[in-house]
A and B are shown apart, each in its own frame.
Chain A
Amino acid sequence: DARVTQTPRHKVTEMGQEVTMRCQPILGHNTVFWYRQTMMQGLELLAYFRNRAPLDDSGMPKDRFSAEMPDATLATLKIQPSEPRDSAVYFCASGLVKGVDYGYTFGSGTRLTVV
């Protein structure tokens, strides 16, 4: 089965450090999402891309977060500087949007702990 691969699976970092999370979408998928999951907020959309172009990043704190797709096989989410409140599980999802039908596959997530 095709998978969305996220690395690293776990990351512990000190406050103020830069964190980079990576996502390899399923080959051929044209849409990539970044979500954050916390107990308090549940699942929140941070950003999403279509054909590598950012379509919506309104859910992302712009002063410290940035999301990019340098090529079709890699999406990155960076936090600089990181803060304890950024501790969460970050999910990437990819999908092929074709007409009105689509479905998404989620990666296993990156569990980030900022101390």
Chain B
Amino acid sequence: AQSVSQHNHHVILSEAASLELGCNYSYGGTVNLFWYVQYPGQHLQLLLKYFSGDPLVKGIKGFEAEFIKSKFSFNLRKPSVQWSDTAEYFCAVNAQNYGQNFVFGPGTRLSVLP
């Protein structure tokens, strides 16, 4: 079965610090990878997705993620965080042989201090 792990439960950063959130999945076949963000009290929004091609994916709001197949990882990065990035971040994986449903990671809460 697919599973997704996210390395950190809660990350606290100061504004302008660099961010990297880890995501690892367990599936050896072809996967599609996603990062979603959930701002406090709001719904999930797609930050970026990877299907194929360039393993470095750029998303909205200055986020990017790198797919490293050999490490089964899809880490999310941002060079300089802002207070408005305070939110919960979910990594999600869809293994193509498992149909169109997702498996979500447990989420990482990011708190950015002004």
Contact = CB atoms under 8 A, between A and B. Distances in A.
Given A50-B100, A100-B51, A103-B49, A42 B106 contact: yes
Interface in A69-87: none
Size band of the interface chain B makes with A: 20 to 34
Contacts of B90: 42-43
B51 A45 contact: no
Contacts of A50: 100
Interface string B21-59: 000000000000000100000111110010110000000
A106 B51 contact: no
Contacts of A104: 46
Contact of A108 (B42, B51, B104, B106): B42
A106 B45 contact: yes
B114 interface: no
A109 B45 CA distance: 12
B99 A55 contact: yes
Interface in A28-82: 31, 33, 42-43, 45, 48, 50, 55-56
A103 B107 CA distance: 19
A102 B102 contact: no
A97 B106 contact: no
13 contacts: A33-B102, A42-B105, A42-B106, A43-B104, A45-B101, A55-B100, A56-B99, A56-B101, A93-B44, A97-B100, A100-B96, A106-B43, A108-B43
Interface of B: 36, 42-46, 49, 51-52, 90, 96, 99-107
